[in-house]
Chain A
Amino acid sequence: MDYSLQLLMTLPELVLAVGSIVLMLVAAWGGHQSTKLVSWAAIAVLIGAGIALAGPASSGGDAFDGLYRADMFAAFSKVLIYVAAAVSILIAPRFFQRTSGDDLRPEYPVLILLSTAGMGMMVSAGDMLTLYVGLELLSLSSYVLASFMRRDARSAEAGLKYFVLGALASGILLYGISLVYGFSGTTLFDGIASAYTGGERSMGLLFGLVFVFAGLAFKMSAVPFHMWTPDVYEGAPTPVTAFFASAPKVAAVALAVRVAIEAMGPALHDWRQIVIFASLASIILGAVAAIGQTNVKRLLAYSSINNVGFALIGLAAGTAEGVAGVLTYLAIYVVMTIGSFLVVLQMRGPDGEPIEDIASLAGMSRTRPGLAAALAIFMFSLAGIPPLLGFFAKLAVFMAAVQAGLIVFAVVGAAASAIGAYYYLRIVKTMYFDEPAPAFHGKPGMVEGGLIALTAAVISPLGWPLLLPLGAWTMLAAKALF
């Protein structure tokens, strides 16, 4: 195949890699003063990578002998990832202004760019090696980002915990990959799929499948590999937490979908039970464990575990409709999550210090009515209350599960979502019916205020016109896998 065409297919990653290296040089010479310049340039690079998706990067097929896949599925996931990454760069400056001694350094946008390149490799992987290198690129950047506030003990703890557990998960994943490679003779997804075809399947392939799914479950923080999530989300700086809850989540779930469908598609009945267990356990544990939380970032961490469970319902269906449901769910989830974290970023005390206590939200409807209304919209949507888009996201995955004949599973999932509604609605109750706590200080800036209004509008019934094109696009993306 023409070499330049292969490079064109990987253009988004090339743009991100070259952009991040150039910006690293700018940061090295410019020092702290260059933070603002590097941040805006990083957003420009992300936009450039997004534009590069329009070419062969979304329709080119395979590059580098099948190691890299430039299809619609990858392109759709990358759009979500780039948007989430850009937002987490945008919201960082105001947060770091208020943390004493740990100001924003220009490495922050550069690390986000590098992790975005890694996520692009993950969702475009056509080979276990691409998968692993992309995953490590994302993970290493994430460990550094989690402990970006060096003077903050919780941030350092978050980074260390994430690093140790992430290394363990990488080991589990690698062990699974090596078993699959050993028993199928190839790391290419197509070759692995042909090894899984046929009735008699060796024990090694089955073990490999289990370990690969365990490693991936850790990366998307699905139960029973979720333990790191609340601590890391609580300790990491809030913009980084917003990033963790959105972009890497999309990348990990999309990667799991691709591995499940493309590499292990013929073993559907073997991995379906794993996915169903992880899905139900995530939904239930995410809902039950969130009830006792007093820290809003921990609460959102459990909410993200809960949401991954719902997204996995679509994967368990194993059909094109199911995959489209997963993508729809992810798209709407990213908007809801980013909106919620933007509101969390506005919670600050008289000296501008961040507040994370749920009790401090009490009576916010009287002190900050606009912000309270936005958070209420996000919470209702995360709970899946009908007029909001969160409902349609859940509907898409449940429909796919019912069509695939998993009716009991869908019913249990829907019932468990009612438990989840309890703690989302508790926040709304705290904001609207409790005696007002001291009001938060400071007004959201133009960028943050605009983003809150935009995300809230998209989630509200105003976003209905978007549902039709979203459904069509996710279906197109899902068809690329089948």
Chain B
Amino acid sequence: MIQALAFYLFAIVVCLSGALTILSRNPVHSVLWLILAFFNAAGLMVLAGAEFIAMLLVIVYVGAVAVLFLFVVMMLDIDFAELRSGVMKYAAVGLALAIALVAEIIIAIGAWSAGGLEMSRRAAPIASDVPNIEAIGRLLYTRYLFIFEGAGLVLLVAMIGAIVLTYRQRSDVRPQNVSHQINRRSKDATRNMNPGVGEGMQL
């Protein structure tokens, strides 16, 4: 009973916020609706027993991707009138894409009713009583450890590459020198003057 209630709650909110993501006129509101959709999709995943994917949705999509979207939307000056001006020009392409998508959905539903995939040859079948976070963790840090570390190196290369290709030391700016600031003492910075009356002062 409570599951059914939760399911319908999450599902309705996902659908509504999905629609509002497209329909809202303010792009910042769109991103916020998208975040709400992600949260509720995560709730649906928990109901389906895929708690790992639920966590991924919240951490990766809400925590990183949506925030990135928000930054981009806020930083870019998007002229929607200009964006919409090409709608009729590309209508044929859009229509073709839509038809392809609909066909895919129909085929997917057909395949779904035809039964599951052959999963007996899986490399690492999991017991039904193991939570999927634990199962993924075990596989990732034992069997696939070597590849996992390799993927880490790929990310490291991406970071090094971004710095190598874009970082440049500029000579026309005055960067902050922290050690210089900390080492500065009050006696270097202040002077005690005793000017005579009416003589003014040399700074």
Contact = CB atoms under 8 A, between A and B. Distances in A.
Contact of B160 (A65, A107, A121): A107
Chain A: number of interface residues, binned into ranges: 35 or more
A144 B149 CA distance: 21
Interface stretch (B45-53, B73-81, B116-124, B174-182): B116-124
A148 B163 CA distance: 11
Contact of A185 (B121, B146, B154): B121
B144 A129 contact: yes
A133 B122 contact: no
Interface in A82-128: 105, 107, 110-111, 114-115, 117-118, 121, 127
A64 B146 contact: yes
Contacts of B146: 10, 63-64, 67-68, 130
Nearest to A188: B123
Given A114-B157, A144-B157, A148-B164, A185 B122 contact: yes
A90 B123 CA distance: 44
Contacts of B168: 150
A130 B150 CA distance: 8
Interface stretch (A45-53, A134-142, A393-401): A134-142
Given A21-B156, A133-B154, A185-B118, A141 B149 contact: no
B158 to A, nearest CB: 6
B135 interface: no
B161 A121 contact: no
A357 to B, nearest CB: 28
A404 B177 CA distance: 70
A341 to B, nearest CB: 22
B149 A140 contact: no
Contacts of A114: 153, 156-157, 160
Nearest to B166: A150
Given A64-B145, A187-B123, A111 B164 contact: yes
B173 to A, nearest CB: 18
A184 B123 CA distance: 11
B83 interface: no
A137 B165 contact: no
A191 interface: yes
A141 B161 contact: yes
B102 interface: no
Given A111-B160, A186-B123, A188-B123, A17 B153 contact: yes
Given A186-B123, A191-B121, A110 B160 contact: yes
Contacts of A134: 150
Given A63-B146, A67-B143, A136 B154 contact: yes
B65 interface: no
A402 interface: no
B164 A133 contact: no
A67 B121 contact: no
B147 interface: yes
B19 interface: no
A287 B151 CA distance: 38
A359 interface: no
A140 B154 CA distance: 7
A133 B123 contact: no
Contacts of A184: 121
A143 B146 CA distance: 24
B151 A133 contact: yes
B121 A137 contact: no
A147 interface: yes
A24 interface: yes
Contacts of A10: 146
Contact of B153 (A68, A127, A137): A137
Contact of A144 (B151, B153, B165): B165
Interface string A449-473: 0000000000000000000000000
A403 B181 CA distance: 77
Given A137-B150, A188-B123, A144 B164 contact: yes
B165 A64 contact: no
- Most chain A CB atoms below 10 A, which of B118, B120, B121, B123: B123
A133 B147 contact: yes
Contacts of B156: 21, 24, 114
A137 B154 contact: yes
Nearest to B149: A17
Contacts of A191: 121, 123
B157 A65 contact: no
A224 B52 CA distance: 43
A150 B161 CA distance: 12
Contacts of B163: 107
A134 B157 CA distance: 12
A266 B119 CA distance: 23
Contact of B157 (A64, A121, A137, A159): A137
Nearest to A191: B121
A112 B158 CA distance: 14
A349 to B, nearest CB: 27
Interface string B103-127: 0000000000000001111110000
A118 B118 CA distance: 33
Contacts of A143: 161
Contacts of A105: 164
Contacts of B150: 118, 121, 130, 133-134, 137
A134 B165 CA distance: 22
Interface of B: 118-123, 143-147, 149-151, 153-154, 156-158, 160-161, 163-165, 168
Given A144-B164, A187-B123, 5 more contacts: A110-B160, A137-B157, A140-B161, A148-B164, A185-B118
16 contacts: A21-B156, A63-B146, A67-B146, A110-B160, A111-B157, A111-B160, A118-B150, A121-B150, A133-B151, A134-B150, A140-B154, A140-B157, A144-B164, A148-B164, A150-B165, A186-B123
User: 3 shortest A-B CB distances, which residue pairs?
Assistant: A185-B121, A144-B161, A133-B150
